[in-house]
Amino acid sequence: MPELKAARPWFAGIDSTVLQQNVKRLDTAYKNFFEGLRFPKFKNRSNFTSFTFVMGVKIQGNKIYLPKLGWMRFHSSRPIPIGFTIKACTVRKRQNGWYVSLRIEDKSVPDYTTKPLKDVVKIVGCDMGITKLVHLSDGSQIENPKFSTTKKAKRTLRIRSRRVSRKAKGSKNRKKAAQKVGLLHQKISNKRQAHHWKVAKKIVDRKIDGIALEDLNISGMMRRCRVKLEEKTGRFLKNGQAKKKGLNRSISDAGWGELILKIEYLAVKQGKVVIKINPKYSSQECRKCGHIDKSNRDGEKFICTECGYHEHADIGAAKTIRDRALKLVRGDSAKPGACT
């Protein structure tokens, strides 16, 4: 850092803790790369949209003091509780303005404690879906609004993106058009986040001791299909990627990962246990005879080819996930790899 400051005198106008946090972020990005994730993306002035202060942040009413920037007005969404101190402050740039998020701490407040597994009696199983966002083992289903994949949303996004491409590169009109696209994405994201919080609260507030969730590899589910080549001519063959593109878009719109994080957060606050279960064959396994076959399932219908047992495929999968979690809690002998 001293060498960077000597080479770039304008670094003196930036708070030292901000520079240190950015170096830590870069270090984390390279560590992730060496562990198998993608190479770090280059950040410039246009796409570097957040920075963090660790010291020197003060708040007085509707004013906040940021080191090297001074006092400025902001909208305080909620007051800081008495006894808490500011540990860090992150400033983010979004399409409709700048946002400040504070990390506060009070060491006298005890940590949340979850219920021991041996005391867990009642569990609800959750199966994530696209037609319905969540299928629950009690037979209920939660709707999926599909905020970005509706006909109206896709048409609006297509029109605004076309307007961006028709503007001259580097022009102010192109930046204005791009900002409108960003505002649409932000609006969709805000709606999705609000819906996720409502769904998570609806699930966690039930009279249960634990929640069984699928241990999903979402990035693996959205990975591109392998390329198929004709042996003689070397021409590319159809590999189903065009059809999978729509599925990937629906999975991204559902936001399963964000929803699971919110469920875990609210469950910890209420002292409830979250158990992640391997969902392998959960929607193909017959709950009556245990027969596993891909042909058991036809869309949302489940009809066992062995014994004829039938029910809703996704609700049956949620019940299977619940039963696997109960086996894990009770210590019953489960199939290898059935629970994680």
237: confidence class by pLDDT, cuts 50, 70, 90 = confident
Show Cβ contacts of residue 313 under 8 Å, excluding neighbours closer than 6 positions: 283, 297, 298, 299, 300, 301, 302
Reply yes or no on whether the pLDDT at 46 is more than 70. yes
Alpha helices in 287-334 (DSSP H): 313-330
Show Cβ contacts of residue 203 under 8 Å, excluding neighbours closer than 6 positions: 124, 126, 134, 136, 142, 211, 263
Reply yes or no on whether the pLDDT at 282 is more than 60. yes
238: confidence class by pLDDT, cuts 50, 70, 90 = confident
In the chain, what are the domain boundaries? 16-105, 117-330
Q: Which of 273, 277, 307, 274 is nearest to 293 (CA)?
A: 307
Reply yes or no on whether the pLDDT at 336 is more than 70. no
pLDDT for the residue numbered 331: 76
Catalytic residue numbers read 127, 214, 314
CA distance 135 to 282: 13
338: confidence class by pLDDT, cuts 50, 70, 90 = very low
131 phi, psi to nearest 5 deg: -60, -50
* pLDDT above 90 coverage of the chain, percent: 60
The mean pLDDT value for 266-290 works out to 91
Show Cβ contacts of residue 312 under 8 Å, excluding neighbours closer than 6 positions: 135, 300, 301, 302
pLDDT for the residue numbered 205: 93
Show Cβ contacts of residue 176 under 8 Å, excluding neighbours closer than 6 positions: none
CA distance 274 to 215: 11
